[in-house]
């Protein structure tokens, strides 16, 4: 069976694909595919060689939202936009379907309704601008692609909100967490599994279902609600945690260089209708994440 080339080695989504695909995964990191290098496609092609490929999944991204507002703006656009266009052109040349991930940050966060794929975009920050530019770079090159916008990614081991909360709950008796930003925490292994199903479904159709789709966990909560759920579950597996309470606060309590959208809800109906794929609830993802932590702790 042909391999699937996964870019972004060491990241949450790439790690999930490496576990999910096993020997079928051909996983490339910065050594094999340095997005900052102008010749990264040439280097990637040399590394892949004549290995037969079924598809390419780009799970690489620049995600330092606040740094993108200043010193790393050019870096974010190089990784999230320019290199994506080059990758799309390479995939089209090789007749390979490309999966690429974008974000709820391409929207302005207004209102309270889940955003559909065809609604106007309007990023609030440079990171969102760079991801939107990446979407345009992908679509302009044509070829077969699946562009998935997702939200609030986490897993059991990466650098993310989930693990930051676990650490802080061991250190502080009171935490203050933003309560006016609403979205769907998405467990990376769930996203990887859904992506693979969608990719294989699209490839099996008479014509590949190229397009933009929203794909994140079902349900919704705030960052405070997510933190509270982590806290309640953590108490059952780690009774010695220090934290006693988690206070809800508005976004204005934590002024940051980059503005965050208040409404990160995404309508995932199209992915279900066209590709037959939907993610479990964010609560199910959290429970599975804790199950993975318990396995790691007892390994």
Please give the span between the terminal C-alpha atoms of the chain, in angstroms, as a whole number.
31
C-alpha closest to that of 105 among 154, 68, 72, 145 = 68
| C-alpha of 165 from chain center | 19
For residue 70, what are the contacts with CB-CB under 8 A and spacing of at least 6? 257
Distance between CA atoms of 240 and 91, rounded to whole angstroms? Answer: 51
288-296: long-range pairs with CB below 8 Å, 24+: 288/187, 288/189, 288/190, 289/154, 289/155, 289/156, 289/162, 289/187, 290/233, 290/234, 290/237, 292/155, 292/156, 292/189, 293/156, 293/237, 294/237, 296/156, 296/157
Distance between CA atoms of 40 and 8, rounded to whole angstroms? Answer: 13
**62 among known catalytic residues:** no
User: Residues 62, 127, 154, 213: which is the catalytic one?
Assistant: 127
Residues annotated as part of the active site: 127
């Amino acid at each position: 069976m042909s391999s699937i080339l996964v870019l972004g080695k060491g990241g949450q989504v790439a790690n999930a694909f490496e576990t999910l695909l096993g020997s079928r995964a051909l996983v490339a990191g910065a050594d094999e595919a340095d997005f900052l290098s102008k010749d990264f496609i040439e280097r990637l092609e040399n590394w892949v060689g004549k290995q037969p490929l079924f598809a390419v999944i780009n799970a690489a991204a620049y995600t330092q939202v606040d740094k993108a507002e200043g010193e790393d703006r050019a870096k974010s656009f190089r990784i999230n936009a320019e290199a994506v266009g080059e990758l799309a052109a390479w995939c089209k040349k090789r007749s390979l379907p490309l999966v690429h991930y974008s974000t709820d940050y391409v929207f302005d966060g207004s209102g309270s309704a889940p955003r559909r794929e065809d609604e106007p975009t309007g990023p609030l920050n440079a990171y969102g601008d760079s991801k939107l530019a990446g979407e345009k770079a992908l679509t302009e090159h044509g070829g077969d692609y699946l562009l998935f916008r997702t939200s609030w990614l986490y897993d059991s081991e990466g650098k993310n909100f989930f693990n930051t909360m676990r650490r802080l709950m061991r250190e502080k008796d009171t935490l203050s967490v933003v309560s006016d930003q609403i979205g769907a925490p998405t467990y990376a292994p769930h996203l990887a599994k859904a992506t693979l199903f969608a990719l294989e479904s699209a490839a099996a159709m008479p014509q590949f279902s190229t397009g933009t789709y929203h794909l994140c966990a079902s349900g919704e909560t705030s960052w405070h609600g997510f933190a509270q759920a982590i806290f309640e579950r953590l108490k059952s597996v780690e009774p010695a945690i220090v934290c006693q309470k988690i206070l809800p606060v508005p976004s204005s309590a934590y002024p940051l260089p980059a503005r965050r959208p208040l409404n990160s809800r995404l309508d995932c109906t199209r992915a279900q209708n066209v590709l037959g794929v939907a993610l479990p609830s964010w609560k199910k993802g959290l429970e599975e994440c804790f199950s993975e932590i318990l396995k790691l702790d007892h390994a």
